Structure 1
Amino acid sequence: MALAALALGSAPFWLGGDYYVNLASQVLIAALFALSLNLLVGYAGLTSLGHAGYLGLSAYASAWLVLNLKWGHLAAALAALGFTGVMAAVFGLVALRASGLSFLMITLALGQVLWGLAYRWASVTGGDNGLSGLKRPAPFGWDLNEARAFYWFALIVFALVCLLLHVLVRSPFGATIRGTRDQPRRMSTLGYDVWRIRWFTFTASGFLGGVAGLMYVYYQQFISPHSLSIASSAEMLLMVIAGGPGTLAGPVAGAALVVLLKNVASAYIDRWIMLLGVVFVLIVLFVPGGIVPGLQRLGKRLRARRPRPEPAGAVADMTLKEVP
């Protein structure tokens, strides 16, 4: 963890030009969004195909308040996060009436409703043209227009969200979330309110998706209905599945894989989407649990094959027995 923190903190110095620093910022923002979805998919066992709606809600709300009502960035961000959290809570009341495939279809329908509003309500959202002209915030006078400055800002937000999720999933409440995923009937028999636990997890996941939406609109300085589309939700779901659901490092690895393939491989290969599909098929076939769990299993196998040295006491006892 210390090495990872050192590498991330010093990345702008060894990555090279602004292009690669901006690419690293995109990875962090995608990882933020994938982590929020992983709380729902990996820990609660509830697969959603409408999670991009929360990114879009937060981004649109913040941009609209700043551009039209001339609110400050801090007030707009707090209002956008509050609005996104409330909408996630309301959507949870609807979606959690079902489970399994029905839950998946309800989240897909809710996501499409938000996409349709963003596309058709042109007087508020700008329609297909979206909202543009947003300037980046300047917290404590810190100018975020420079690539390195925005990267470090994104890294701070990313670290805080990771710390929050680390505490949550390792807490007793985090254990109840995993319990509702693995043994919902047994958890209900033991007296736990399974529906209420899932609803809180759904709401928290949507709220964290709103945090990713703020970072997204700050980076892009633009938001359009495409950000709420089913393609965006599916892309984030693939990040979680490829990296390893139910782990904190898995969505980060999946986000890095997808963002790098989109931005780097597409510069050399015209049909990079086909390459992305081939990569995911290979992951499903050979590393079904995801990249991070697969690497962990490989590490355990390699450690198990290493010859273990004899304990010093055992060697001494063997020597004494051989003395006549």
Structure 2
Amino acid sequence: MPEVPGNVVGGTAAPRRPVRRRYAAVPAVVVVLVLAAAPLFLAPFATTTLTRLLVFGLLAVSLDLLVGVTGLPSLGHAAYFGAGAYAAGWVSLHVTPAIPVPLLVGALVGGVAAAATGWVAVRSAGVFFLMLTLAIGEILAQVAQNWDSVTGGANGLAGIPAARLGGEPLLNAGFLYWYVLVVGLLLFAVVWVLARSPFGAALRGIRDNEPRMRAIGYPTTVYKYAAFVAAGTVAGAAGSLLAAQQRLVTPADLGFTTAALALLAVVIGGAGSLWGPVIGAALVVLVRDALGPSLAGHGELLLGVVFVLVVYLLPRGAAGLAGLRPFRRRNP
């Protein structure tokens, strides 16, 4: 009688977890370890650039919750990013720069701003939603431009003190980088869990077929509004990290250019994957900040070429090239 394999019980093969799924977290762990060790081997300027990349990557992840998961492409998402940055900078200047006060205030203001404007925005769709969010972003940018007593006007909010942890200012580029990395990973995990939850599944259903979701009883407007506020809250937290890293906030940080670059990062990286927009953000920051000066100011032109190539050659963006897929329902 042949020997029964160890994974067979009563003649029936016991289900085994696929090897690919079992080791799916290994690349993520390796990336996190490399990022954590980066300041030990990089010069201060490179560490600062990497910090800026993490901040912009978190903004792109928050936007992907709207674009890739919910199907709401926004051109005004930087408004909540900038609102959080201004709030965190103002609190650091006039109240305290002690962690986590500016972070919490930035997230709160970003969420409140999204809540105040989102209820109108989510009642539209498609091009109308895109243009409405663009108008909201431009209105908030003009408010920042003209409210001199609070925002500093066109000169921006300057002189923001360094973030303090345990009473000590984070003046070292490496220490500030680790602070941004820890907060960024925590917020990324929050968005990841949200996207994988039943709430996230409902958002993807709305993205794929909103009339059907409405027909089976889902209050789609409420779901979209909740996603809008959640994305604005995470963007506001990312803005507080920008204020801590840059120690200067200007109207450009909540204007059209920043919003367009964030949307570009999502498209290049691959909407719906969450990891992909981080890759897209890295490409955008590196081209803009590292290659741009050496290209005689033509970094935006290079980004435009990359965008066209991605649209035509990589329909799922860099995430598709790396084998990262948008969230989908797993078979049991």
TM range (shorter): 0.7 to 0.9
Q: Is the counterpart of residue 273 in structure 1 residue 267 in structure 2?
A: no
Q: Is the counterpart of residue 294 in structure 1 residue 321 in structure 2?
A: yes
Whole-angstrom distance in 1 between the partners of 2:218 and 2:196: 18
Which structure would you say has the larger Rg?
A: 1
Once the 2 structures are TM-superposed, how far is the Cα of residue 295 of structure 1 from its aligned partner?
A: 2.8
Once the 2 structures are TM-superposed, how far is the Cα of residue 10 of structure 1 from its aligned partner?
A: 1.1
Within 5 Å, give how 1:42-121 maps onto structure 2.
42-67=68-93, 69-73=94-98, 74-121=100-147
Once the 2 structures are TM-superposed, how far is the Cα of residue 166 of structure 1 from its aligned partner?
A: 1.6
In structure 1, the residue matched to 2:277 is: 251
In structure 1, the residue matched to 2:22 is: none
| Deviations, residues 9-42 of structure 1 (Å, cap 9, x unaligned) | 111123x311111111111011010001010011
| Deviations, residues 188-235 of structure 1 (Å, cap 9, x unaligned) | 122111111100000000000001100001101011111111011001
**Matched-pair contact (CA < 8 Å) for 2:88–2:240:** yes
**Matched-pair contact (CA < 8 Å) for 2:160–2:247:** yes
**Matched-pair contact (CA < 8 Å) for 1:132–1:223:** yes
| Deviations, residues 54-103 of structure 1 (Å, cap 9, x unaligned) | 01111112222332x43454444433322221221121111112111111
Cα distance change of structure 1 residues 292 and 80 upon mapping to structure 2, 3 Å threshold: closer
**Matched-pair contact (CA < 8 Å) for 1:29–1:212:** yes
Cα distance change of structure 1 residues 234 and 297 upon mapping to structure 2, 3 Å threshold: closer
Structure 2 residues not aligned, in runs of 5+: 1-27, 326-332
Given the alignment, which residue of 30, 33, 48 partners 1:22? 48
| Deviations, residues 242-272 of structure 1 (Å, cap 9, x unaligned) | 0000002101100110111112212321122
**Matched-pair contact (CA < 8 Å) for 2:92–2:161:** no
**Matched-pair contact (CA < 8 Å) for 2:87–2:240:** no
| Deviations, residues 162-181 of structure 1 (Å, cap 9, x unaligned) | 21112111111110110110
Cα distance change of structure 1 residues 65 and 4 upon mapping to structure 2, 3 Å threshold: closer
**Matched-pair contact (CA < 8 Å) for 1:50–1:109:** yes
User: Percent of counterpart pairs with the same letter?
Assistant: 40
**Matched-pair contact (CA < 8 Å) for 2:270–2:318:** yes
Q: Is the counterpart of residue 283 in structure 1 residue 310 in structure 2?
A: yes
Q: TM-score, normalised by structure 1?
A: 0.87
Given the alignment, which residue of 65, 71, 78 partners 1:39? 65
In structure 2, the residue matched to 1:6 is: 33
Whole-angstrom distance in 1 between the partners of 2:55 and 2:64: 14
Whole-angstrom distance in 1 between the partners of 2:188 and 2:82: 21
- Which amino acid in the other structure matches residue 50 of structure 2? A
- Which amino acid in the other structure matches residue 155 of structure 1? L
Task: Please give the secondary structure, in 2, of the residue aligned with 1:36.
Answer: helix
Whole-angstrom distance in 1 between the partners of 2:293 and 2:168: 33
Once the 2 structures are TM-superposed, how far is the Cα of residue 52 of structure 1 from its aligned partner?
A: 0.7
**Matched-pair contact (CA < 8 Å) for 1:58–1:81:** yes
Whole-angstrom distance in 2 between the partners of 1:2 and 1:110: 38
Q: TM-score, normalised by structure 2?
A: 0.85
Q: Where in structure 1 do 4 or more consecutive aligned residues deviate above 6 Å? A: none
Q: Is the counterpart of residue 199 in structure 1 residue 237 in structure 2?
A: no
RMSD: 1.6
Whole-angstrom distance in 2 between the partners of 1:201 and 1:46: 10
Cα distance change of structure 1 residues 162 and 142 upon mapping to structure 2, 3 Å threshold: farther
Once the 2 structures are TM-superposed, how far is the Cα of residue 297 of structure 1 from its aligned partner?
A: 8.0
Q: Is the counterpart of residue 136 in structure 1 residue 162 in structure 2?
A: yes
**Matched-pair contact (CA < 8 Å) for 1:38–1:240:** yes
**Matched-pair contact (CA < 8 Å) for 2:310–2:317:** yes
**Matched-pair contact (CA < 8 Å) for 1:177–1:197:** yes
Structure 1 residues not aligned, in runs of 5+: 299-324
Given the alignment, which residue of 175, 181, 188 partners 2:207? 181
**Matched-pair contact (CA < 8 Å) for 2:74–2:133:** yes
Whole-angstrom distance in 2 between the partners of 1:162 and 1:228: 21
Given the alignment, which residue of 171, 176, 181 partners 1:150? 176
